[in-house]
Amino acid sequence: MTENWNLFGHEWAVDMLRQHVANQAMRHAYLITGSPGLGRRSLALAFARSLTCSAPPAPGEYCGECRNCRQMSSMQHPDLTIIQSETEGGMLKVEQIRELRKSVLLAPYQAPYRIVLLLRFQEANASAANALLKTLEEAPTKVILLLTADNAEQLLPTIVSRCEVIRLRPLSISRVDEFLRIKGTEESKAKLIASLSAGRPGYALRLLEDDSALEFRREKLDEVEELLSASRVTRFAYAEQLAKDKETFRATLLLWLSLWRDVMLQTADETNAVTNIDRRDLIEKLANKLSMSEAKRQLSAAENGIGQLKRNVNARLLAENMLLNFPKF
């Protein structure tokens, strides 16, 4: 039997969904919300396995070994449809939902249900959201739709009202730290990754398994420190380089966001909540130089920059404006 569906954390959500399957009381649509890296997709796929397992060891469980389980796990099942924007932070388009509306009319090919997984649905444009609403209203009985999003407030209230909403919350840092150490992670690395994860086990695993992600973070935060004392010419040259790749630009802005958040926390003497614990010297330096309102302005600039990139503004102009307003020491 798969204890907690082989997931780390969110036991209450697993228990609820397990009972839905065991009692054959499934809703036709579920919305799983929470920060990226919290385990939204993992929970949805585990739920899909419990719905389609051909040899469940107990009601609401899945064996993990049958054909349906293996194919759902690898996201290669003929009755699984996955819909998402092309890139994280991109836009999910109405054409994708229109194609979905055709496929949900088909009977399941192999499993008891046809599962539709709509990832990061906050990235759907208005037309796509309205098109999904029609699907939710008219979904056949053998179709179960699983949506993920950062939070329910980003979606149309009429979509949210037609879903069973599961709001995932971050785990404690200590619990993620313990989880990483059980996996054999060295103590100082486990402590750093657990802190950077902000209680998101999926993101912690991503950092653990992908050394390039930690290296990218180190490189970009080193560059921030250099930019603080750089000339305008150097900053503009950096902006030109940064704007060449929007995915890299967006990932860099997310790191800036975490840094300015930590500076605000440091300014407010909330030092225990700082996530970039290996950059305390830089954070303290910035907090000593900047007022709370100045730190908040930098945080807002990073947040707005992420939104502007999504709206396809001129990336170079955006980068230049942001770096022009960077603190200078």
Residue 264 has pLDDT above 70, yes or no: yes
Distance, CA of 277 to CA of 75 (rounded, Å) = 36
CA–CA separation, 238 vs 188, rounded Å? 32
pLDDT confidence tier of residue 2, bands split at 50, 70 and 90: low
**What is the SS3 string spanning 122-144?**
HHECHHHHHHHHHHHHHCCCCEE
Sign of the C-alpha dihedral computed for residues 114, 117, 121 and 123 taken in this order: negative
Using pLDDT thresholds of 50, 70 and 90, give the confidence band for residue 1.
Answer: very low
Q: How far is CA 20 from CA 15, 28, 58, 85, 109, in A?
A: 9, 11, 13, 29, 23
Instruction: Quick: pLDDT tens for 296-320.
Output: 999 999 999 998 988 888 999 999 9
Q: State which amino acid sits at residue 75.
A: M
**Nearest of 106, 111, 166 to residue 140 by alpha carbon:** 106
- Greatest C-alpha distance within the chain: 66
CB 13 within 8 A of CB 43: yes
52 contacts: CB under 8 Å, gap ≥ 6: 62, 68, 69, 72, 77, 79, 111, 112, 113, 115
pLDDT digits (tens, 9 = 90+) for 204-262: 998 999 889 999 999 999 999 999 999 999 999 999 999 999 999 999 999 999 999 99
Mean pLDDT, rounded, of the chain: 92
Band of residue 86 on the pLDDT scale cut at 50, 70, 90: confident
Compute the radius of gyration of the chain from its Cα atoms. 22
Look at the pTM and tell me if it is higher than 0.95. Answer: no
